[in-house]
Amino acid sequence: MKYYVFLVLTVLFWSGNFIFGRLVSTSIEPMQLSFFRWFFVLIILLPYIVIHYKNIFSVFRKKYISLLILGTLGISGFNTFLYYGLQTTTATNALLINSSIPIFIIILSALIFKTTITKIQFIGVLFSTLGVIYLILKGEINHIFELKFTIGDLWIIGACIDWALYTVLLRYKPKELEPMEFFSITTLLGTTILYLVFIFQGYSIEFSFLEKNEVLYSLIYIVIFPSILSFYFWNRAILEIGANKAGQFTHLMPIFGAVLAYFFLGEVLQTYHIVGIILIAFGIYLSIFLKKDEK
């Protein structure tokens, strides 16, 4: 049960990442936000890396290919794509596209590991997806014609595929590494890759953007909650309950997004939110608790 709590907290914190990422989109460049997010996470993790360096780097020498791939996908890729997308797409479109992650996870699991998709799981995914779409369309089907797609939507799609692939490939996490050791080495590798891209694009390490309170406070939140806590929770849960089950929890993000929008943006919870929440919850129940365990 605790791993399901981990997943709920994970997507709650990620929902905040969407809100704060969008909030500061005009105050800081996407590459800057992505790099400094993980730069500060790495600073926090450095003492832990120093203490556990023997095991961490011993395993890295043996499994460097898988660790490089996971570090690139999980740390360097997903949020960089997300922040670029939030520059030009709406939060509505981003949440709608983000709901495709469970589908990508199931498809990639089937392609890479030949996992089977049961009928009840398919029905559960369908209900959850319908719930998300119902939320996005605010209960009115004609709203679908009002959606406009931009280059930012392509970045969000790239982020979804990136995260789905990362989630599926977590099966290759070296068993010799404890969850925190794994998170630390992938953060180190991913941040190093981000730094190389950061420098290549002409940026330099300077902190003048932190003078803006909205950027400072947003970055503090992003470093602690969607980064350190969410990644730790997600990695632990994937290894315990499997990628397909865990992926369904990303459908909770529009729900949490609506709640966070109520507190931070003053938006009111409407009837269509309640209907969407019920559909999503029912879909998760079907796909997780009424199917045989799969990993």
Instruction: Compute the distance between CA of residue 252 and CA of residue 178 in angstroms, rounded to an integer.
Output: 28
Instruction: Compute the distance between CA of residue 201 and CA of residue 141 in angstroms, rounded to an integer.
Output: 42
- Using CA atoms, how far residue 190 sits from 72, 81, 259, in Å, is 5, 14, 31
- Note the pLDDT of residue 295: 43
Neighbours of 200 (CB within 10 A): 9
The pTM for the full model equals 0.80
The domain of 45 spans: 1-290
In a domain, 149, yes or no: yes
Q: Are 117 and 108 in contact (CB under 8 A)?
A: no
Number of domains composing the chain: 1
In a domain, 295, yes or no: no
Q: Are 249 and 125 in contact (CB under 8 A)?
A: no
In a domain, 21, yes or no: yes
Sign of CA dihedral 6, 158, 283, 289: negative
For residue 58, what are the contacts with CB-CB under 8 A and spacing of at least 6?
Answer: 176
**Residue 37 tokens, joined:** 């997010």
In a domain, 189, yes or no: yes
Q: pLDDT of the chain along its 295 residues, tens only? A: 788 899 999 999 988 888 888 888 888 999 999 999 999 999 999 999 999 999 999 999 999 999 999 999 999 999 899 999 988 876 666 766 777 787 788 888 888 988 877 788 778 778 877 876 776 676 777 767 776 666 888 898 899 899 999 999 999 999 999 989 999 999 999 999 999 999 999 998 988 888 889 899 999 999 999 999 998 898 888 888 887 778 778 778 877 877 776 776 566 667 776 787 787 778 767 766 665 444 4
